[in-house]
Amino acid sequence: MKRVLVLGGGPAGAFAAERLASAGLETILVDEKLAWEKPCGGGLTYKAYHQYPFLIDNGTPKKVVTQARLNSAKVGTASVQLTQPLLIYSRFDLNSMLLQRAERAGAAIEKTRVSGMERSGGKWSVRTKSGTIDADYCIVATGARNPLREVGTQWSPGDTMSSLGYFIPSDQDHVDLEFFPRFEGYIWIFPRAGHLSAGIAGKGKPAGELRLMLDSYLRDKGISTRDSTYFGHVIPSLERAAWKGNRVAGDGWMAVGDAAGLVDPVTGEGLYYAMRSADLATGTLLRTAPEAAAGSYREHVWREFGEDLSTGARLSKRLFHGEFLRNDMSARMIQLMRRSPTVLSVVQDLFAGTQEYTTLKARLKSGLHRTAWEIALSVLPRRTA
């Protein structure tokens, strides 16, 4: 194999280009925007920076956040002291750092738009605004709005969520998350270096309605959006039925990150999956014959997180639309967090990314008696006071 073309310069594409170039392959990364900002994005869980320590050991500006507050209008707030901090970057800064690493590793980076691609005789011919590039293999990292229909995941409108928000010139030391009855999504406020990222992500509502919900929430909190920059984006959020047949690879190509639909359907978190899928794809390509790489990569993706994310898609419906003890599931979760250290520990691990959805039910069930005892102890003093 002589040349690999990476289509897309976001975190998944940049990391893939770094890995390939470091291994000595001729690597060209092409992207129309290269580093750019997003209303979401930039948050890294412990799972991500533990797997890839350079994500925390660097000089790029970042916020180290150790507290989150989850709120529902019905039951109030629960505070979570995070056992493993969240790292929150400006998405532009994080993306720039990853592109610089790719360039230092020897990848050639071209700022240009890809308009089409054809495969013939085991080779790719990729048309760009600047001309045509030939390649032996393609890593597809074109994000959720992938314009290339021949490659990458395929989804219906129900397999995405809308994400929109503001960059607000302000500061705070914690994450805010707000949940609403029967709404598959949430509002967030993330502290970043130099500003707040305040936004909403959700399914089943038009963008205009989402923005009204967000603006009302920010007004109620006394947060002004004056002089703030507004952004909108689409995030993959595959329904459970879409996961088993998710198109992540084919003849001469593998998709990574959002282009492969690899986003947590509950939280909307995608950076860990972007980095890890890029690592899996490039590792597969370096160790496997090109004609066998697609099948091998599909197996790796499903084994590492495909099944877990599929389970998450089912749990997402229960969390956002379900009821427990005659109240919304999200509201009950917040109440349980305030009264049960066992439940709080589970939520801390969900924030860290170390609790898988496939084992979540069993963990909650095994701790049921302890949780009930903790709740009883939390209520008893109030009854005897």
pLDDT digits (tens, 9 = 90+) for 39-88: 777 899 999 999 999 999 999 999 999 999 999 988 999 999 999 999 99
β-pairing, 26-31 vs 3-7, is parallel
Averaged over 249-258, what is the pLDDT?
95
Task: State whether 368 and 333 are in the same domain.
Answer: yes
Residue, of 37 and 173, whose pLDDT is higher: 173
Task: State whether 328 and 224 are in the same domain.
Answer: no
Task: State whether 327 and 345 are in the same domain.
Answer: yes
At residue 2, the pLDDT reads 84
Token pair 């994080």 in the structure block, residue: 94
**Exposed, middle or buried by CB within 10 Å (0-12, 13-18, 19+), for 385?**
exposed
Averaged over 120-146, what is the pLDDT?
91
Task: State whether 98 and 220 are in the same domain.
Answer: no
Which of left, alpha, beta for 204 (phi over 0: left; psi -120 to 50: alpha)?
Answer: left
309 belongs to a structural domain: yes
**Closest residue by Cα to residue 167 from 116, 226, 93, 94:** 226
Tokens coding 13? 């594409």
Task: State whether 124 and 245 are in the same domain.
Answer: yes
291 belongs to a structural domain: yes
Residue 327 has pLDDT above 80, yes or no: no
Task: State whether 252 and 146 are in the same domain.
Answer: yes
β-pairing, 229-236 vs 249-250, is unpaired
**Closest residue by Cα to residue 164 from 2, 41, 13:** 41
Q: Which of 213, 236, 259 is the last residue of a domain?
A: 236
Residue 273 has pLDDT above 60, yes or no: yes
**8 A C-beta contact, residue 298 and residue 249:** yes
Residue 379 has pLDDT above 80, yes or no: no
Domain carrying residue 185: 160-236
- Report which secondary-structure segment, H or E, holds 132: strand 131-135
Residue 384 has pLDDT above 50, yes or no: no
Q: Rounded to the nearest 10 degrees, what angle do helices 11-22 and 271-287 cross at?
A: 30
213 belongs to a structural domain: yes
At residue 163, the pLDDT reads 92
Q: Read off the pTM.
A: 0.93
If one counts the domains in the chain, the total is: 3
61 belongs to a structural domain: no
Task: State whether 212 and 130 are in the same domain.
Answer: no
Task: State whether 9 and 102 are in the same domain.
Answer: yes
Task: State whether 218 and 251 are in the same domain.
Answer: no
77 belongs to a structural domain: no
Task: State whether 16 and 130 are in the same domain.
Answer: yes
57 belongs to a structural domain: no
94 belongs to a structural domain: yes
Residue 383 has pLDDT above 70, yes or no: no
Task: State whether 212 and 140 are in the same domain.
Answer: no
Residue 212 has pLDDT above 90, yes or no: yes
Amino acid at site 293: A
Band of residue 385 on the pLDDT scale cut at 50, 70, 90: very low
Q: Please, what is the Cα angle at 257 between 137 and 28, to 5 degrees?
A: 35
Q: Which of 255, 280, 313 is the last residue of a domain?
A: 313
Token pair 């992540």 in the structure block, residue: 248
**Euclidean distance between CA atoms 319 and 99, whole angstroms:** 37
β-pairing, 137-140 vs 108-111, is unpaired
At residue 382, the pLDDT reads 52
Residue 15 has pLDDT above 70, yes or no: yes
Task: State whether 276 and 147 are in the same domain.
Answer: yes
SS3 track for 236-292 = ECCCHHHHCCCCCEECCEEECHHHHCCCCCCCCCCHHHHHHHHHHHHHHHHHCCHHH
Averaged over 167-192, what is the pLDDT?
92
**8 A C-beta contact, residue 148 and residue 116:** yes
Band of residue 324 on the pLDDT scale cut at 50, 70, 90: confident
**Interacting residues of 244 by C-beta distance below 8 A, sequence separation 6+:** 310
Averaged over 178-204, what is the pLDDT?
92
Band of residue 381 on the pLDDT scale cut at 50, 70, 90: low
In this structure, what CATH number is given to the domain that contains residue 33? 3.50.50.60
At residue 136, the pLDDT reads 95
276 belongs to a structural domain: yes
In this structure, what CATH number is given to the domain that contains residue 166? 3.30.9.10
Q: Which of 270, 293, 313 is the last residue of a domain?
A: 313
**Euclidean distance between CA atoms 371 and 360, whole angstroms:** 15
At residue 37, the pLDDT reads 79
